[in-house]
Structure 1
Amino acid sequence: MAEIHPAQRVAVLADAQNLYHSSHSLHSQNVDYAELLDATVDGRELVRAIAYVIRADSPQEESFFEALRDIGFEAKIKDIKTFGDGSKKADWDVGISLDAVTLAEKVDTVVLCTGDGDFSRLCHHLRHEGVRVEVFGFRASTADELIAAADDFTDMGERAESVLL
């Protein structure tokens, strides 16, 4: 796999739902997306940064979406679905995977900001295609299979003072 170098082209894909739940359950804090973007890019050439968010009709979410855009993320927004039995569902797994596969032709590295083990197969595919895969997540809530499938894992819990608000 490609080693890190300044001319490396990077795409950052942030699973905001996963990061939110992990940062709140483990640290009772929010993610500092500006610091996260700086840490993931690490001086390399940013091709695209996408934050995948869920619209849940909370009062402050529109300002959060706008703040993501101001930081440099493209905010992809999905409405939460409520089913007849009252259950709710919203996730971006397929959307993140499709974007990662599409971007793989244009970048050297894909950085996945999530702890969701469902992305381990995506990591294997990207690496097979010659793309370096880095994962940023909270170790305590990141699936072992995701860590094993990536070229590199960064524990956001060890960087809590810089990546959390």
Structure 2
Amino acid sequence: MLRVLALNNEANAYLEVKLGKGKRPFTHRPGSNDRSAWQTLSPRSPLARYLPEMAERTHTASCKQLAAVLVDLCHAYGYVDLDERRGMDFHRHRPQSLDSGSPRSGPWKEDKDAGWRSFDLHLATPDPDYDEQLVATVAADGLEAVAAALNAAHLLLIGSVQDLGYKVLGFS
């Protein structure tokens, strides 16, 4: 959806200015396969804040409606909960956060003065919030929110591309 809005030069320039702050400039090309061109849409991401103004710069109603769908998604409880769970699980289960994932030292310990040597096993740390029913509910609610947004956006995508002056094969 971002790539559709970025087809408009004024909207794309606005995005490049807004996301280009920081260590390296942000350059976005709608058809790019560059990793930086694939922006994450999270309720806390800067992109979510900039979408309405980006759409405004296209001067098309369909693009404004498309941006509204994305903003609504970022406020949907199911999507917010899914994003928070994803973030929590990512940080909890990355190697740096687990005793078993990326040990800070080798398994052998030795005290030559005391005359002992030991071997530590690094076992997985259980998730204190593990509740498979809760995780399944969060995932289902989040996916329902995404599906509803895609359902609302799919015809707007085609209309937006057309309103920006591009032809879409199979649609008039």
**TM-score when scaled to structure 2?**
0.26
The structure where helix makes up a greater share of residues is 2
Larger radius of gyration: 2
The structure where strand makes up a greater share of residues is 1
Structure with larger RCO (C-alpha < 8 A, sep 6+): 1
**TM-score when scaled to structure 1?**
0.27
